[in-house]
Amino acid sequence: MIFTVAIDGPAAAGKGTIGRAVADRFGFRHLDTGLLYRAVAVAGGDPVEAARHLTPEDLQRGDLRTLEAGRAASRVAALPEVRAALVDFQRRVARSEGGAVLDGRDIGTVICPEAEVKLFVTASPEVRAHRRWLEVGGDAGRVLAEVKERDARDMERADAPLQAAWDAVVIDTSAMGTDEAVEAACAVVARRFAKRT
């Protein structure tokens, strides 16, 4: 059974939490594709070479979740050769037997336009910055500036910019708790899954 759930959206909108929960609920694999770009960014040296030689161990590094790694990731993610080097791996996971959930920026638009479910998970910049601040701490104003800067870079890049696929279901989590957001996503997936099987 091939069944792909593509979850796209801006930084700290809740894609990862929703992605993991959907994968658990339906017994699908989960790939946080942001980790690929973060791992390329922290690898050092030529990012294109790093993307071409990325290994599963590189995704286990403990320093991938920092603000700095996120900022550096959005810089290397603007390089078309880096993106191209990561396409095949993501497509293989997306169409692997047993179902898969991938979260990122371009899953429903570029990596897997044929995904059975496309979700665009978003929230206001202030809400997203607050959530990120709860994770990383530090200066709240700086975290908000960082979120806005990263949104702009991800939306304005020429190659695979962040945007909702025309057929994505938009879930705005600004006024939702985690459980509510997870249930909203699972309801969409369950409807499509039932139709398919």
Is there a contact between 36 and 89 (Cβ–Cβ < 8 Å)? yes
Contacts of 160 (CB under 8 A, 6+ apart): 83, 105, 106, 109, 110
> Shortest approach of ligand CDP to residue 185 CB, angstroms?
16
DSSP state of 79: -
Count other Cβ atoms within 10 Å, centred on residue 168.
22
Nearest Cα to Cα of residue 117 among 187, 180, 188, 172: 188
Contacts of 172 (CB under 8 A, 6+ apart): 122, 123
Positions in 26-65 near ligand CDP (CB under 6 A): 33-34, 37-38
Nearer to ligand CDP, 129 or 169 (CB): 129
> Shortest approach of ligand CDP to residue 95 CB, angstroms?
16
Nearer to ligand CDP, 16 or 113 (CB): 16
Positions in 94-133 near ligand CDP (CB under 6 A): 104-106
Nearer to ligand CDP, 82 or 169 (CB): 82
Contacts of 194 (CB under 8 A, 6+ apart): none
* Residue position matching structure tokens 């590094």: 61
> Shortest approach of ligand CDP to residue 34 CB, angstroms?
2
> Shortest approach of ligand CDP to residue 55 CB, angstroms?
18
Binds ligand CDP (CB under 6 A): choice among 5, 6, 7, 12:
12
The stretch among 47-55, 73-81, 92-100, 167-175 that binds ligand CDP (CB under 6 A) is 73-81
Positions in 127-166 near ligand CDP (CB under 6 A): 150, 154
d(CA 76, CA 78): 5
Binding site for ligand CDP (CB under 6 A): 11-12, 16, 33-34, 37-38, 70, 73-74, 77, 104-106, 150, 154
